[in-house]
Amino acid sequence: MRIVNSIVTMQRLARQWRRAGRGIGFVPTMGFLHAGHLSLVRRARQAAGKNGVVVMSIYVNPTQFGPKEDFSKYPRDLKRDFKLCRQVGVDVVFTPGDKEMYPRWGAAADEPALARQSVAAAREDAHPTNFSTYVVEESLSHTMEGASRPTHFRGVTTVVAKLFNIVLPDVAVFGAKDWQQAAVIQRMVADLNFPVKIIVAPIRRERDGLAMSSRNKYLAGDLRRQAVVLWRSIQTARATVNKSAKPVPAARLKADLKKFIEREPAARLDYVEFFEPDTLMPVTGVRRGTHLALAVFIGKTRLIDNAPL
């Protein structure tokens, strides 16, 4: 396994593989890997083909974090991540630094104030305020995560577009836990003609149903037990829909789930939404085939989950 920190080196390798006719499978991550990430690697290996290579990026992207979010505290353990990557056969791990990804770091003294403020202060310290070119998806990114985290998707689409231009993948694999993110990226790829096939792989769950997430590390003691309320909420919504002969009013079901979730003393609902899975359009009546997504604070930890009903 090779570890690459340089964009120039990564692009040179990618071009060599392409000239040799080797497929490139790509798994973008923010690290602190778990079994869900490793399942994406296996899917990328399959999709890259017999002579293909698999690249995983590990980069905690500052531009997708809001000013009061957990960028500085986000769990990081590269040594552990490298060990797991070797175990599942990753060929190259791309681990750029902030100044590599956003080279014009810090606003110049003579730069206009508007440019200096072009990115919301996503970090407590340095931030790429002199970086001024962003990719913005304007249809699917305004609800749910986009409403709760207004600068989030601009950071996601920009860094993913940059990574696609660096790694030059034939196929990229994302997890279904971030359902809206996957939809936004698929739209970006289609609209901007990226020659990349997007695969959305199923959510991996713990035995008690909690969706695997790097942020689960924040959950200690009773908070970990309470976090299962996200999965139990999904099961409750499914049961309600399955036993109803007609569509269930979305407003009523949202109110019921809020009460259900907030019975847990440390739980606070951020949002719950019911929508069409392909368009992300909200529905007023919930039936089989409707998709549910929710975000819940368990103490200070914000978790997301989603599922078809």
The helix-helix angle for 229-242 and 250-261 (nearest 10°) equals 150
Is 142 designated active site? no
Residue 305 identity: D
Q: Which of 281, 306, 309 is nearest to 294 (CA)?
A: 306
* Residue of 34, 37, 142, 291 with catalytic role: 37
DSSP 199-218: EEEPPPB-TTSPBP-GGGGG
β strands within 252-309, DSSP E: 267-275, 285-286, 291-298, 301-308
Tokens of 176: 């279904």
DSSP tally for the chain: helices H, then strands E: 11, 11
Q: Which residues are catalytic?
A: 37
